[in-house]
Amino acid sequence: MSVLQVNSTNFEKEVLKSDTLVVVDFWASWCPPCLMFAPVFEKVSQEFPNIKFVKCNIDESREIAGRYGVMSIPTIIFFYKGEEVGRVIGFRDVDGFRKIVEKILRRIAK
């Protein structure tokens, strides 16, 4: 599944009303760590086809970023059935990010 872009018009439908785990990458085009993290996010998204991975540009979706208290980027927020179930701030490499996704999956499986 390809990574979907979300904004104020589709955030509720794609993230909050989803029955699956959704991983949201809050990012901006002027943020070097965000740009470095983009291929990591894409690669890990391909390893978990049953999870929805989406990106939210904070410059285009300030209201959403504000609602979830995104103060630093990249910020990755995990949502399950409309509720936040995890959050990671800052760059992670592929192995580190994969381990975080696996940990969140174990947590929601309980």
- Which of the residues 34, 40, 54, 100 is marked catalytic? 34
Q: Which two tokens stand for residue 61?
A: 């979706």
Annotated catalytic residue, options 31, 85, 89, 105: 31
Residue 56 annotated to the active site: no
Please check whether residue 61 is in contact with residue 10, taking contact to mean a CB–CB distance below 8 angstroms.
Answer: no
Cis peptide before 32 (omega within 30 of 0): no
Residues with catalytic function: 31, 34
